Amino acid sequence: MSHRTPDPFATPRLAALPLRVAYADEMAAVLADPALHAFTGGAPETPEALRARYARQTAGSPDAGELWWNWVLRAGAGLVGYVQATVRGDRAEIAWVVGVPWQGRGYAGEAARGLVAHLGEAGVTAVTAHIHPEHAASAAVAAGAGLARTGEWEDGEERWALGL
Rounded alpha-carbon distances, angstroms, from residue 133 to 42, 47, 136, 151, 158? 18, 30, 7, 11, 7
The two beta strands, 15-18 and 78-88, are: unpaired
pLDDT in tens, 76-97: 999 999 999 999 999 999 999 9
Say what the pLDDT of residue 163 is: 80
3-state secondary structure string across 48-108: HHHHHHHHHHHHCCCCCCCEEEEEEEEECCEEEEEEEEEEECCEEEEEEEECHHHCCCCHH
Rounded alpha-carbon distances, angstroms, from residue 46 to 3, 84, 106? 30, 20, 27
Say what the pLDDT of residue 4 is: 78
Q: Is residue 18 pLDDT above 70, yes or no?
A: yes
Mean per-residue pLDDT of the chain:
95
pLDDT in tens, 96-130: 999 999 999 999 999 999 999 999 999 999 999 99
Say what the pLDDT of residue 2 is: 54
Say what the pLDDT of residue 40 is: 87
CA dihedral sign of residues 20, 24, 25, 27: positive
Confidence of residue 145 (pLDDT cuts 50, 70, 90): very high
Closest CA to 20 of 61, 53, 64, 67: 53
Between CA 71 and CA 62, with CA 89 as vertex, the angle to 5 degrees is 65
pLDDT in tens, 27-59: 999 999 999 999 988 999 999 999 999 999 999
Q: Which residues pair with 106 in a beta bridge?
A: none
pLDDT in tens, 148-157: 999 999 999 9
The pTM score is 0.95
Say what the pLDDT of residue 164 is: 65
Contact (CB, 8 A) for 13 and 75? yes
Q: Is residue 1 pLDDT above 60, yes or no?
A: no
